[in-house]
């Protein structure tokens, strides 16, 4: 099972958009791979609509989307058609048909104590094809796509500025939308940071980003 910080495994997958090789399909981009328990189920349908409603926002962040379940490709195609016909939402991202369960097994998406379907897993992968975050949700709880947008935004700022994000960023209860400076590693830097940044103490300094 891959872990945070690991390279995303190389996979060749059948999707609603044809054969795709991962992670090279998203070379130089962020991407989110998310699994769902099954096609033609209510919670999963709401999730697909929610992802698509935010598709342009993910695209603006340079982040692709790709879904997955252990259904066959014809089931995916029919479900995506149903969503367009009945709900007026066109799903633009590909969906992996993992009917053999090989990919799900490799990525750790089937949790035996929660049944034989894939759980609601999320892998956030950076442009260097490194896994930056992994989220697991049970079948009965739909995901929050705005949190995934927040995470990609936070990762991009962290990578660019070498900072960390506080809880509930960008609406933190202490420092609002400001970011946290990494702690100093020596006494001299600790004293300098008290003069250079806004600080609660030398180990808790924060600043604004552009």
Catalogue the active-site residues. 44
Task: Measure Cα distances from 25 to 18, 63, 66, 97, 153 in Å.
Answer: 12, 12, 10, 16, 21
Q: Return the beta strands (E) in 27-119 as ranges.
A: 30-35, 63-69, 95-97
154 HSE (CA, 13 A, CB side): 21
Six-digit token string for 125: 């992968």
- Distance separating alpha carbons of residues 96 and 123, to the nearest angstrom: 14
């Amino acid at each position: 099972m891959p872990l945070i910080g690991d390279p995303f495994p190389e996979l060749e997958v059948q999707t609603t958009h044809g054969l795709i090789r991962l992670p090279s399909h998203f070379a130089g981009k962020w991407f989110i791979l998310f699994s769902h328990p099954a096609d033609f189920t209510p919670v999963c349908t709401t999730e697909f609509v929610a992802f698509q409603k935010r598709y342009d926002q993910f695209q603006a962040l340079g982040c692709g989307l790709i879904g997955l379940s252990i259904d066959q490709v014809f089931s995916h195609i029919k479900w995506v058609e149903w969503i367009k016909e009945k709900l007026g939402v066109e799903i633009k991202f590909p969906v992996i048909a993992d009917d053999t369960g090989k990919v799900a097994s490799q990525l750790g998406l089937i949790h035996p104590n929660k049944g034989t379907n894939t759980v609601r897993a999320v892998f956030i992968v950076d442009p260097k094809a490194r896994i930056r975050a992994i989220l697991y949700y049970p079948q009965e709880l739909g995901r929050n796509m705005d949190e995934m947008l927040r995470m990609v935004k936070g990762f991009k700022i962290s990578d660019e500025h070498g900072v960390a994000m506080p809880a509930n960023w960008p609406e933190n209860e202490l420092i609002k939308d400001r970011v946290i400076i990494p702690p100093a590693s020596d006494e001299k830097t600790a004293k300098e940071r008290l003069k250079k940044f806004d600080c609660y103490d030398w180990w808790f300094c924060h600043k604004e980003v552009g």
